[in-house]
Amino acid sequence: MDERQRARRPGGRGARVGAAVHQAVTDLIGERGYGKFSVGDVAARSGVADSSIYRRWGSLENLLADVALTRLNERSPMPDTGSLAGDLRTYAAQVAREITGPDGLALLRLSVALSNSGQEGRQAGDGLRDERTRQLQSMLDRATERGEDAPDAFGVLDYILAPMYVRVLLGVGTLTPDYVDGLVDRLLGPGFGLGLGSGTV
């Protein structure tokens, strides 16, 4: 995700344009699905010139990734409860609520769609995942700075996120609070999850 996507004015016209374009993308995804609309369609729906959209986001793929990241940050922000266990329980509960919602797998489908839409799509998808991984790692780094023994982001993927997505995708079992808390306990248990992974989500 490049600097065009990161630069945001806190208010004024830039914020209104961003909100209008994001809403147009969200509406078009709901109506048509991924890969079924163009920047021109977004421009017509939002009332923002397509040249302005290209200038700010560079491509439809970058725009889709930016919409997805904004939604993730709004619905599943990285918590800061003061403890690693508290942060992971809160984060896992947020993700569980998100992926079991009415359009909970939409972001996963978007990631797959971007990966299959050429080089620009792959780069946009990589940028989305890299930024979310950076945010997650920052949460874990705070725990390390407090003196806690924290896993890396890949460990959270392996032991918390992946099992939840598998259950939802395959329709086997439900994401009850006890189950989700148990995933966190398993990761933090002595000799089980800590220190086993290195990489990125």
**Phi, psi angles (nearest 5°) of residue 175:** -95, 75
Residue 136 above 70 pLDDT? yes
Q: What is the mean pLDDT of residues 166-194?
A: 88
Q: What is the mean pLDDT of residues 132-148?
A: 96
1-25 pLDDT, tens digit per residue, is 444 444 444 557 788 999 999 999 9
Task: Tell me the domain boundaries of the chain.
Answer: 3-58, 77-188
Q: Does domain 77-188 have CATH number 1.10.357.10?
A: yes
Q: What is d(CA 113, CA 166) in angstroms, rounded to the nearest whole number?
A: 18
Separation of first and last alpha carbons in the chain: 16
* CATH among 1.10.357.10, 1.10.10.60, 3.60.15.10, 2.60.40.10 for 3-58: 1.10.10.60
| Cβ contact 38:102 at 8 Å | no
> Which carries the bigger pLDDT value, residue 18 or residue 101?
18
What's the chain's average pLDDT?
87
Q: Residue 110: what pLDDT?
A: 82
Q: Which residues contact 178 (CB under 8 A, 6 or more apart)?
A: none
Largest CA distance in the chain: 56
| Cβ contact 108:165 at 8 Å | yes
**Phi, psi angles (nearest 5°) of residue 63:** -65, -45
Q: Note the pTM of the prediction, 2 decimals.
A: 0.78
Q: Residue 196: what pLDDT?
A: 44
> Which carries the bigger pLDDT value, residue 26 or residue 5?
26
Half-sphere exposure of 151 (CA within 13 A, CB side): 30
30-89 pLDDT, tens digit per residue, is 888 888 899 999 999 999 999 999 999 999 999 999 998 998 888 889 999 999 999 999
Residue 98 above 70 pLDDT? yes
Q: Residue 84: what pLDDT?
A: 97
Q: Residue 190: what pLDDT?
A: 79
Q: What is d(CA 21, CA 13) in angstroms, rounded to the nearest whole number?
A: 12
Percent of the chain predicted with pLDDT > 70: 89
